[in-house]
Structure 1
Amino acid sequence: MFSFQKLLKVVLVAVACSSASLAAPWPTDAKHETNRVHLVGRGDAALKIETFAPASTFETFGADGLDHPLAKRDGFDLQSASKAFVSSKLDVSEDDVHYNTGYSGDVTHHAFIKQQANGVPFANAVANVAFNKDGKVASFGSSFVDTSAIASSEPTVSVEDAIKTAEAALGASVNDHPGSLEYLALADGSVALTHVVQVQDEEKGIWVEAFVDAHTNELISIVNFVTKLTYRVLPIQEEVLTQGFQNLANPENTAASPLGWVTSTTTAGNNAIAYKTSQTTGVAKESSTGSFIYTANPAQAPTVTANVNAAIVNAFYVVNSIHDISYLYGFTEAAFNFQNDNQGKGGAGNDRVTISVQDSAGTDNADFSTPADGSSGHMRMFLWDITNPERDGALENDIVSHENTHGITNRMTGGGTGRCLQTNEAGGMGEGWSDTMADWLENDSKISDFVMGQYVINDPAGIRSHPYSRSTTTNPLNYGSLKTLSEVHDIGEAWANTLHNVLAALVDARGFSTTAKTDASGTTGNVVFMHLMIDALPLQPCNPTFLTGRDAIIQADANRYAGANKCTLWKAFASRGLGVNAKNHVNDATLPSGC
């Protein structure tokens, strides 16, 4: 059975899954890519919950792509083509293939599929298909499962009783998001029917989807959404407060934010709202007409009014800046980004990022909650009490950008569901991408060693175990490190260090653009890197691994640049153990033929 443990106080809740946490048909060495332990809540009341997701397979088909059953038809219909391909590829009936979401980017079309049985969709058995501009299949990921041991599709437990069970087990209340009935694949190979509801408590830091067995009324799994004008701000390319604030006039990019960043005279707009305590009264107001000029004084407590306003404005600026930058590289309305008004360009809307600055629910950390497209992403920035006076995480740009990037990667992987970075390895990759975004935003043309979180703890070594570095002496982390790493931030360091070296290799080969944050055209190394990082997210399967993440980046290069950077990418990945023959967290430096 799964165990739900209160920290310091062990409480076991029986769940009808399996007597082993990982059983056939998934081998025990796959646990990194199928399981994860989540902490729900905080302090003594936190619950430790182990969850399961079926392992994904992933195939890529290079620049030429693969023909599919509907490739010869006139006109391309994403829904029909993707359902036909999945049905043919997996040898299942189209009745068992549910088209969930999809969109067309500038170089690929993306479809996100759910397995279904008896007309009921699965929560964690999914597939994704990417088609190139010729309508051929570029990549395919799947975690479809066998349905020989499936529960009846008719629930015997009411949704009202399921809600009571979820609330009692998690110590929080169901929010107003509509519930659903979905199948859930379990570790022992069986399939449960579940009532799915969202449970949320802002003070406790809880926001999860709870899966309650619709026949036994037991909580059996969760999806955890929480991942741990003129403005005076710390410019986006800078990392820490000591590098100096500047007054930036009209920093918004109108191509990405045609409605601007603010809708009136406060830190509230189409993309984000930043505040302390209250979204109504806690926003920062213009210091004078058309200006948000607040000077932070680190010698004073962060809670004095000027420092609070400076933190709110800076967090608002960073989140909006990343909205605009990521938009240029493909995180658009159709790709499930965060905006209230999508202006008819696709996606759900009504989901700007809410940024709670100096949130009272914690210290020495920050987090970001990513529900499905159509519900706001929620960032909480905490104070850090290691120094005196305390320091504010909202005034260290790499922390804000790290948290905001969780929203990008959770939305784009899996088609806007927020459900597809839930395993240990995938969750670690999420942490790695977030550090990588900060690295990309703040690094220079040399792609120097990069340190995370040095300001808030007043330590030039930062909050990670090593700087991200080209040097294996400075940072020895690689694919093989996963043999001994189990915590998601530790796993993330290995992925971020790998991506740091991919970025460095591309910049060495193609040069560096100083305008990459406002111009995504061209083929300089840092521009190419960000395109590939963003392009790969919807290509990779639900709950990716280092291997499938690598393959998705290489396929993204085939899609966008016809494979022009293939050998550069392979050499960089192989330098950190992700060569052609890498598997089971054993390093390999083999390159493909021709490289």
Structure 2
Amino acid sequence: MAVPYPAHSKFSTHRSRIVGRDVEIETYHPATTYETFGEGIDHPLSKRADSTIKDSAIAFAESHLKVDAKGISFKSAFSGEVTKHAFLRQSHDGIPFANAVANVAFNHDDKVVAFGSSFVTPKSITASTPSITVGAAITAAEQSLSGKFNSHPATLEYFAKQDGSVVLTHVVQIQNEEHGTFFEAFIDAHSGELVSITDFVAKASYRVLPLQKEILTQGFETLTDPQDLSASPNGWHNTGTTSTTTTAGNNVISFAGSSQGAVSSQSSTGLNFVFTQNAAVAPNSGANIDAARVNAFYVVNSVHDLTYKYGFTESAFNFQTNNFGLGGAQNDRVTVSVQSTAGIDNADFTTPPDGQSGSMRMYLWDLTSPRRDGALENDIIVHENTHGVTNRMTGGGTGRCLQTTEAGGMGEGWSDALAEWTEHTSSATPDFVLGQYVINDPTGIRTHPYSTSTSVNPLRYSSIKALNEVHNIGEVWANMLHNVYAALVTARGWSATARTDPTGTAGNVVFLHLFIDALPLQPCNPTFVAARDAWIQADINRYAGANKCTIWKAFASRGLGVGAAGFSDSSTVPAGC
């Protein structure tokens, strides 16, 4: 009898979701190839001083994949401190593919340092002129996904299917505010069938919890002018054209429930937002709701400024109303709904493409009496906000490139890892627990604390074979990153000013640079192995490989060594380490 493929064999190419009226959709993403090139290799236009990043990227992909340049379209690009990134798509008859993409990274010597591709060789491809109208496609999508078309312009794109065929699709965005869903639907432009989806949802003076504090029992403080003007040049309450005296500004608007008008106004003139939370009464009583809105506004702005300093800028597809002419699409500040009534005992973040607002919803938790407010637990807010960073920076601002089970799991892991990073206050790397406050349990909401001790946290690369849910898979990745962080801090020391000063070679500074640098280097829908390789390449790009062995040893200690593949462990490190 034939042995069925284990479920984990599809983690890098598939993901199943229940959507709409109990419809299960298994989405497909062509397998990705990924290569890194250390100090870099030449591309076909290397000797041309006038070549653009667009021309160079297309020429390299054409040469490396041995495809005609007519079958490659340019999506986007940006230049960071140490690398330049171009994002490409396969195309046919001038129409791009949705899920056959490539990314090329160049160092500032104009050499290619990384290349990822999910280009396909179609067995068949349908006609490039639609048989059904966009209107008919919208109707089909609304019916299948139990939502409404949100008027975002529809596109026409090809979609590569698992059987090797390629179909023409109308691509439309469908939302259901009541149920908190936000999908990108791919409707066959000839048959009207729902082919696939992108799920965009990843489940002045201020009295707040400072960013390095995890939970409110550590104590609120009143912080004066915590904004970083090098990241938010007009502060947190000015878009460049409009000033506010509420929890609304260029980077974020924080409000209660579903009404963006339900913001908190200053408690006194001079942009003072000082509201004292009373834990003995319900979260929506007295000043509690103001305290929640202000804390969420502060934390999301702080994460904006922190990640901006390390490379999540306008041209790298961040979230701002006004991009000040620095690239990227604007009018997409983060919207934060505190005490959202759309759910309970959870939180989520929706990441549509660059130019559409990221949306965070923070829920109440009902495991205690009175209930507790997730907007008052900083690690949960940072976790959700990080989904926006990783979804935007992986794949060039599309929001489509962490959609497989494995990549989605790493998305959860990155979010936990950045939440942990913000809360370190010394060179020590103690075990980290997420979500203690909301459930009133020191063990938190994960299966294990993140730890360098294998007896405290035994999770390894091979553990994924027994897992099938993105948060559980994410714990494996987050614990690996915990070990990488600990190794870097042990080797390089710790900087107390890392949140505002990204210079120097302290271990926590190095960690966050590599965290951010690796995101655009890695391919769309990366695997653990590809993400690890992107970290190693990021270290070469920024630090000339100075941390290579430290990083390899940390990954290998949890099974992600040189020979790791197919969720089988390897503890091997490269020669010389």
Q: Which moved more, 1:183-192 or 1:324-333?
A: 183-192
Q: How does 1:409-488 map to 2 (within 5 A)?
A: 409-444=390-425, 445-488=427-470
- CA deviations on 1:304-354 (whole Å, 9 max, x unpaired) are 131000000000000000000000000000000000000000000000000
* Structure 2 residue matching 1:418: 3-state secondary structure: coil
Structure 2: runs of 5+ lacking an equivalent = 238-242
Say whether 1:498 aligns with 2:480. yes
* Structure 1 residue matching 2:11: 3-state secondary structure: helix
| Partner of residue 13, structure 1 | none
| Partner of residue 247, structure 2 | 267
| Partner of residue 547, structure 1 | 529
| Partner of residue 312, structure 2 | 331
Once residues 54 and 107 of structure 2 are traced to their aligned partners in structure 1, the CA distance between those partners, rounded to angstroms, is 15
* Structure 1 residue matching 2:76: 3-state secondary structure: strand
Once residues 384 and 280 of structure 1 are traced to their aligned partners in structure 2, the CA distance between those partners, rounded to angstroms, is 22
TM-score by length of 2: 0.97
Please, which of 560, 572, 575 is the counterpart of residue 578 of structure 1?
A: 560
* Structure 1 residue matching 2:187: 3-state secondary structure: strand
Paired amino acid for 1:538: P
Aligned-pair identity (%): 62
* Structure 1 residue matching 2:389: 3-state secondary structure: helix
Once residues 260 and 124 of structure 2 are traced to their aligned partners in structure 1, the CA distance between those partners, rounded to angstroms, is 51
| Partner of residue 349, structure 2 | 368
Please, which of 198, 202, 211 is the counterpart of residue 186 of structure 2?
A: 211
| Partner of residue 511, structure 1 | 493
| Partner of residue 587, structure 1 | 569
| Partner of residue 383, structure 1 | 364
The Cα shift of 1:46 comes to 5.5
Once residues 401 and 244 of structure 2 are traced to their aligned partners in structure 1, the CA distance between those partners, rounded to angstroms, is 36
Contact in 2 for aligned 1:347/1:373 (Cα 8 Å)? yes
The Cα shift of 1:40 comes to 3.7
| Partner of residue 534, structure 1 | 516
TM-score by length of 1: 0.94
Contact in 1 for aligned 2:77/2:396 (Cα 8 Å)? yes
Say whether 1:118 aligns with 2:93. yes
| Partner of residue 239, structure 1 | 214
| Partner of residue 6, structure 1 | none
Paired amino acid for 2:194: L
CA root-mean-square deviation: 1.3
* Structure 1 residue matching 2:41: 3-state secondary structure: coil
| Partner of residue 189, structure 1 | 164
- CA deviations on 1:411-470 (whole Å, 9 max, x unpaired) are 000000000000000000000000000110112421110000000000000000000000
Once residues 346 and 466 of structure 2 are traced to their aligned partners in structure 1, the CA distance between those partners, rounded to angstroms, is 24
Once residues 226 and 426 of structure 1 are traced to their aligned partners in structure 2, the CA distance between those partners, rounded to angstroms, is 14
Contact in 2 for aligned 1:110/1:539 (Cα 8 Å)? yes
The Cα shift of 1:38 comes to 2.4
- CA deviations on 1:248-267 (whole Å, 9 max, x unpaired) are 00000000000211131000
The Cα shift of 1:153 comes to 1.0
Write out the 4+ residue segments of structure 1 that deviate beyond 6 Å after TM superposition: none
Say whether 1:401 aligns with 2:404. no
Please, which of 268, 282, 305 is the counterpart of residue 301 of structure 1?
A: 282
Contact in 1 for aligned 2:76/2:87 (Cα 8 Å)? yes
| Partner of residue 12, structure 1 | none
| Partner of residue 95, structure 1 | 70
Contact in 1 for aligned 2:71/2:91 (Cα 8 Å)? yes
Q: How does 1:145-184 map to 2 (within 5 A)?
A: 145-184=120-159
Say whether 1:343 aligns with 2:341. no
| Partner of residue 240, structure 2 | none
The Cα shift of 1:176 comes to 1.4
Say whether 1:288 aligns with 2:264. no
* Structure 1 residue matching 2:339: 3-state secondary structure: coil
Q: Which moved more, 1:452-461 or 1:213-222?
A: 213-222
Paired amino acid for 2:224: A
The Cα shift of 1:48 comes to 3.7
Structure 1: runs of 5+ lacking an equivalent = 1-21
Once residues 18 and 495 of structure 2 are traced to their aligned partners in structure 1, the CA distance between those partners, rounded to angstroms, is 41
- CA deviations on 1:13-63 (whole Å, 9 max, x unpaired) are xxxxxxxxx99xxx986401001122446xxx565422111111100001x
Contact in 2 for aligned 1:40/1:205 (Cα 8 Å)? no
Q: Which moved more, 1:130-139 or 1:153-162?
A: 153-162
- CA deviations on 1:171-220 (whole Å, 9 max, x unpaired) are 11000100001011111111111110000111111101001111111111
* Structure 1 residue matching 2:520: 3-state secondary structure: helix
Paired amino acid for 2:41: L
